[in-house]
Amino acid sequence: MAGRPRDGRMRPLRHRHSHHFAGSSRHLHGRTELMSRRKAPKQEAPQTIETAIALIAEYRDLLDKSDELKLDADSSIAKIQAARDEFVAPLDQRAKDIFRQLRAWWAVSAPSLTEGKRKSVILAGCKIGERTTTPALKHDGLKVDTLIDQLADLGLSELLRITTKLDKQACIAAITDNTELGQVLLWLGARNHQADEFFIDRAERKETTPQPVEVQEEAA
């Protein structure tokens, strides 16, 4: 057979250009790493007080416009929802009336429709019948708090769910006032933390009351 060595054994193929692919892989990896190290565009800070004032004014106007758009949208949504409720109310009421009528009808007609073999049937594209509800705990004549106290007194904690939350405001106050509880918190490694942060708040606008203007009547 052509190409077979004289000893009859096949020799493994040599990949002469494997170093080329390895180099390409390293090159692509280097480019990916370089791209991941690129920093976000640098923000240019204003260089003069005039430029800073102009930016502050633009910032204020943007927030004012944003608030205005949100208020307009909320007002429009409220009007749409009110109109929707007005149209939907009679439909829902009619549906409730029909439901009650069919429930009374089903109580009489179910035996003949189901032949006692099932609890529901399909009519007019709807499945109508009876079904078992999800289990719900009833404690008629017994308040929840009373039931909880009775279970706790009996030591039946497995029937109670106890939730514990950290009162952060109480912890901050204890550390600030340097109380014994505050000392315990500090010993455990807790501490109050505050930091200076940059802010821009819009000055509160004072509502101006229109002043009445006296009008001099011309003499007849």
Asked whether the beta carbons of 191 and 175 are under 8 A apart, the reply is yes
For 122-128, which contacts have Cβ atoms below 8 Å and span 24 or more sequence positions? 128/102
Q: Is 30 part of a structural domain of the chain? A: no
User: Rounded to whole angstroms, how far apart are CA atoms 142 and 135?
Assistant: 18
Task: State the chain's maximal CA–CA distance in angstroms.
Answer: 137
Q: Is 139 part of a structural domain of the chain? A: no
What was the pLDDT predicted at 219? 52
User: Rounded to whole angstroms, how far apart are CA atoms 116 and 216?
Assistant: 93
User: Rounded to whole angstroms, how far apart are CA atoms 29 and 35?
Assistant: 10
What was the pLDDT predicted at 107? 94
User: Rounded to whole angstroms, how far apart are CA atoms 144 and 162?
Assistant: 14
Predicted TM-score (pTM) of this structure = 0.57
Q: Is 32 part of a structural domain of the chain? A: no
Nearest alpha carbon to residue 201 among 17, 63, 52:
63
Q: How many CB atoms lie within 10 A of CB 133?
A: 5
Q: Is 175 part of a structural domain of the chain? A: yes
Q: Is 185 part of a structural domain of the chain? A: yes
- Please tell me whether residues 114 and 171 are part of one structural domain: no
**pLDDT class for 115, splitting at 50, 70, 90?**
confident
User: Rounded to whole angstroms, how far apart are CA atoms 121 and 105?
Assistant: 14
Which of 88, 118, 148 terminates a domain? The answer is 118
Q: For residue 210, is pLDDT > 80?
A: no
Flag the least confident range among 19-23, 52-56, 86-90, 120-124. Answer: 19-23
- Please tell me whether residues 173 and 114 are part of one structural domain: no
User: What pLDDT, in 10s, does the model give residues 2-47?
Assistant: 455 555 555 554 544 444 444 555 554 555 555 556 676 777 899 9
Nearest-5° angle of CA 183, CA 188, CA 191? Answer: 65
Contacts of 80 (CB under 8 A, 6+ apart): none
- Please tell me whether residues 168 and 110 are part of one structural domain: no
Tally of structural domains, the chain: 2
Q: For residue 83, is pLDDT > 80?
A: yes
Q: Is 186 part of a structural domain of the chain? A: yes
Work out whether strand 126-129 and strand 120-123 pair parallel, antiparallel, or are unpaired: antiparallel
Q: Determine the 3-state secondary structure of 7 from DSSP.
A: coil
Q: Is 7 part of a structural domain of the chain? A: no
Mean pLDDT calculated for residue range 122-133: 95
Flag the least confident range among 20-24, 26-30, 79-83, 174-178. Answer: 20-24
**Residue 89 belongs to domain spanning:** 46-118
Which of 118, 143, 172 terminates a domain? The answer is 118
Q: For residue 163, is pLDDT > 50?
A: yes
- Please tell me whether residues 114 and 51 are part of one structural domain: yes
Q: How many CB atoms lie within 10 A of CB 128?
A: 16
**DSSP secondary structure string for all residues of 56-115:** HHHHHHHHHHHHHHHHHHHHHHHHHHHHHHHHHHHHHHHHHHHHHHHHHHHHHHHHHHHT
Q: Is 25 part of a structural domain of the chain? A: no
